[in-house]
């Protein structure tokens, strides 16, 4: 019976890995990484692997005889795609796509050739990137705030702009075109206070900026837009900034400060301590009752035990 159950489990797992041509749905937020799954039979040698976005000419990833052909890769994917298992063992052909944007929306197809066969479609995944995935940052008045945003590495013809759409301002928070800072396009309140976080931003794809000496008026929503590699302008990230007065819980944080954490940890510690004490007390009472019962029954005659 056990062998039969094991066989059914293994056989269904095998079928599950082969039946991967049906389109799957995957949802992810801006800036996150996503794993696009794909599998081949375990005991084959993969001679060619192709990950391609439907209706696109270039590849997300192209590998032949364990060599990655970067010249065939779409520029927007360079530096953002890697194999989940670089050795592709046990049929693992999945890839990880990093720092996703709304421009990554679409259908991704995984095809492979093995055992001297022609390439065949193994999996199809529809990726949907949520444009409302907003990050939250909390800082104390007078401190610096880092507004994060990421695009592809080694991008070209980059236009980068940061805006604050939830308030009426006369210009941008930050504006950069073809590597040149456009300070005259900035709102007066942000001039001299915003700079790029990474000096190698174009090579690393780090479009984050640092807003210096924040004030209470800086609270609000900030959006990062970029155009690169001859593509249209697209939103990459949205960040909600909250500035708190000095003396309150602050710091670059998304879920509270140290004071809150201290109170929470103290409360949790008290609760855990009381819970442990209660459990030990109950265990002691139960143990004592069992001991008394066993002790009394030990000295009873068989007839008395039957009556009890």
- Tell me: do 143 and 252 sit in the same domain: yes
Band of the pLDDT at 15, cuts 50, 70, 90?
very low
- To the nearest whole percent, how much of the chain has pLDDT over 70? 71
Answer yes or no: is 65 within a domain. yes
- Tell me: do 247 and 158 sit in the same domain: yes
Answer yes or no: is 6 within a domain. no
**Torsional class of 192: left (φ above 0), alpha (ψ -120 to 50), beta (otherwise):** left
Average pLDDT estimate for 137-156: 88
Q: What is the pLDDT of residue 60?
A: 96
Answer yes or no: is 203 within a domain. yes
Q: Whose CA is closest to 112, among 67, 65, 48?
A: 48
Kindly report the pTM of this predicted structure. 0.49
- Tell me: do 251 and 285 sit in the same domain: no
The three-state secondary structure class of 275 is helix
For residue 278, what are the domain limits?
260-299
Q: What is the pLDDT of residue 278?
A: 52
Residue 293 has pLDDT above 70, yes or no: no
- Tell me: do 192 and 265 sit in the same domain: no
Answer yes or no: is 304 within a domain. no
Domain tally for the chain?
Answer: 3
Is there a contact between 70 and 152 (Cβ–Cβ < 8 Å)?
A: no
Work out whether the CA dihedral 197, 200, 201, 205 comes out positive or negative: negative
- Tell me: do 169 and 222 sit in the same domain: yes
Q: What is the mean pLDDT of the chain?
A: 77
Residue 39 has pLDDT above 90, yes or no: yes
- Tell me: do 107 and 162 sit in the same domain: no
DSSP state at residue 202: H
Answer yes or no: is 5 within a domain. no
């Amino acid at each position: 019976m056990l062998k039969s159950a094991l066989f059914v489990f293994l056989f269904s797992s095998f079928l599950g890995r082969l039946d991967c041509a049906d389109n799957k749905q995957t949802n992810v937020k801006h800036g996150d990484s996503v794993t696009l799954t794909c599998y081949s039979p375990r005991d084959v040698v993969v001679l060619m692997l192709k990950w391609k976005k439907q209706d696109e000419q270039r590849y997300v990833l192209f590998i032949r005889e364990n060599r990655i052909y970067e010249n065939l890769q779409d520029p927007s994917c360079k530096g953002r795609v890697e194999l989940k298992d670089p050795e592709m063992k046990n049929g693992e052909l999945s890839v990880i796509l990093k720092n996703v944007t709304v421009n990554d929306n679409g259908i991704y197809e995984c095809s492979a050739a093995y055992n001297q066969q022609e390439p065949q479609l193994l999996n199809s995944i529809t990726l949907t990137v949520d444009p409302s995935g907003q990050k939250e940052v909390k800082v104390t008045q007078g401190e610096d705030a880092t507004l994060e945003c990421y695009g592809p590495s080694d991008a070209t013809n980059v236009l980068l702009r940061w805006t604050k759409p939830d308030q009426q301002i006369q210009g941008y928070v930050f504006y950069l075109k073809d590597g040149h800072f456009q300070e005259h396009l900035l709102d007066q309140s942000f001039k001299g206070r915003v700079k790029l976080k990474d000096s190698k931003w174009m090579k690393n794809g780090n479009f984050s900026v640092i807003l210096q000496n924040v004030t209470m008026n800086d609270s609000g929503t900030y959006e990062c837009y970029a155009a690169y590699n001859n593509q249209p302008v697209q939103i990459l990230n949205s960040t909600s900034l909250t500035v708190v007065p000095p003396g309150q819980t602050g710091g670059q944080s998304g879920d509270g400060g140290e004071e809150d954490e201290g109170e929470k940890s103290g409360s949790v510690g008290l609760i855990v301590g009381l819970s442990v004490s209660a459990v030990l007390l109950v265990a002691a009472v139960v143990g004592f009752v069992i001991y008394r019962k066993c002790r009394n029954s030990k000295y009873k005659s068989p007839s008395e035990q039957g009556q009890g």
